[in-house]
Amino acid sequence: MMVKSSVTGVAPSTTANTYGTSTDVRPHYAYVGIKRLAHVALTSGGTFGAETLTVRIRTRFRDGSANSVTKTFTATGGETALTNAELHDLLTNELIIEYLSVDTQSNIANSTATGGAKYAFENSTIKSEYRD
* Residue 131 in domain: no
* Residue 68 in domain: yes
Angle at 49 between CA 45 and CA 50, to 5 degrees: 120
Print the domain residue range for 95. 2-124
Structural domains counted in the chain: 1
Q: Is the dihedral of CA 87, 60, 105, 79 positive or negative?
A: positive
* Residue 130 in domain: no
Question: CB of 21 within 8 A of CB of 51?
Answer: no
Model pLDDT for residues 14-54, shown as the tens digit of each residue? 999 999 999 999 887 778 788 888 899 999 999 999 999 99
> Which residues is 81 bridged to in the sheet?
41
What does the alpha-carbon distance between residue 29 and residue 52 come to, in Å, rounded to a whole number? 36
Q: In which element (H, E) is residue 117 found? A: strand 112-123
What CATH number is given to the structural domain containing 115?
2.60.120
Model pLDDT for residues 71-109, shown as the tens digit of each residue? 999 999 999 999 999 999 998 777 889 999 999 999 999
pTM score, two decimals? 0.91
